[in-house]
Amino acid sequence: MRRRRPLSAMVALTALALSGTVFAAPGSAAPPAQQVSDDYVALGDSYSSGVGTREYFDDSGDCRRGPHAYPQLYADAAGVTEFAFVACSGAVTDDVDAEQLDALDESTTLVTVSIGGNDVGFADVIQSCLLGDDAGCDEAVSTAEQEMRSELPDKLDDTYDGISGAAPAAEVVVLGYPKLAELGDCGVPGFSETKRERINAGADVLAGVLRERAEAAGFTFADPRSQFDGHGVCGEDEWVNGPSAPLVESFHPNIDGHAAGYLRVLEDALA
């Protein structure tokens, strides 16, 4: 689906078997973008579509693309002439290959993509860590890390090759995932510091794989971990939702996570 400005008023995770009510904080205004792209395409999963911001375009359906997602914020601020917003909640690399690459063509000048978290089942990891004990959390993260190292690189290579082939003139920015949790006191039941440390260690492994494969493809890797430092779940100023209602909003960046987190990371990568 290709959108033209202006438009009307998502380690990576899908809906979790959790309950609770943690709502996103009001977003801060996005700073003006410096980079201008004539033809921008936003690919990827829920961390790109804007899941967690709680407001979505009516025509985006279960993909949950929203006006507060960093790709939309960037397109609006930069004055993008052509903007195709095709990122979709729950997407894995195969979904990008089969359903999103058609948005690219030889005139595409900028591509952003976040993908890989769902390929290694990180929603199941979070569920295991929240509902199980420390040992079960460690086992779940270890299994995901094994998949990151053994299976994910080939999947990323295939997807990145597809992007290069479909948009040969484009600058491509691969955006990673933040660490999800802060250490110290936490009001989330069962979310021990040991579990949070283990989940964050898994995020570090995922970041390393994403960086390696992005750079091998000749793409820019934009790492959001330092930008989100201090703003994970259990932090004083959360940019990532904890267990939430509706469930799909859980453990995704909120409005501030996109405006003050991901958007600024993208702008720095393009500077």
- Is the backbone peptide bond immediately before 246 cis, with ω within 30 degrees of 0? yes
Query: Left, alpha or beta for 7 (phi > 0: left; psi -120 to 50: alpha)?
Result: beta
- pLDDT over 50 (residue 10): no
Q: Model pTM? A: 0.87
192 is catalytic: no
Mean pLDDT value across residues 194-220: 98
Q: Which of 46, 49, 89, 128 is catalytic?
A: 46
Whose tokens are 């709502």? That residue is: 23
Domain limits, the chain: 2-270
Q: What is the pLDDT of residues 78-117, one digit of tens each?
A: 999 999 999 999 999 999 999 999 999 999 999 999 999 9
pLDDT score for 122:
84
DSSP class per residue in 108-173: --EEEEE-STGGGTHHHHHHHHHHS-HHHHHHHHHHHHHHHHHTHHHHHHHHHHHHHHH-TT-EEE
> For residues 175 and 48, what is the distance between their CA atoms, to the nearest angstrom?
9
Q: What is the pLDDT of residues 106-157, one digit of tens each?
A: 999 999 999 999 999 989 999 999 999 999 999 999 999 999 999 999 999 9
Q: What is the pLDDT of residues 215-255, one digit of tens each?
A: 999 999 999 999 999 999 999 999 999 999 999 999 999 99
Q: Which of 68, 231, 252, 258 is catalytic?
A: 252
**Alpha helices in the chain, H assignment, sequence order:** 46-49, 70-78, 93-95, 122-131, 134-150, 152-166, 193-216, 255-256, 263-270
pLDDT score for 3:
36
Q: What is the pLDDT of residues 13-65, one digit of tens each?
A: 333 333 332 323 334 444 444 455 689 999 999 999 999 999 999 999 999 99
Give the pair of three-digit tokens for residue 203: 């995020």
Strands 39-44 and 220-222: unpaired
> For residues 257 and 50, what is the distance between their CA atoms, to the nearest angstrom?
10
Task: Answer yes or no: are the C-beta atoms of 25 and 69 closer than 8 Å.
Answer: no
> For residues 151 and 165, what is the distance between their CA atoms, to the nearest angstrom?
22
Q: Looking at the domain that runs over 2-270, which CATH code has it been given?
A: 3.40.50.1110
Give the percent of the chain with pLDDT over 90: 85
Give the pair of three-digit tokens for residue 255: 């409005």
pLDDT score for 37:
66
End-to-end CA distance of the chain: 28
Give the pair of three-digit tokens for residue 89: 């909640």
37 is catalytic: no
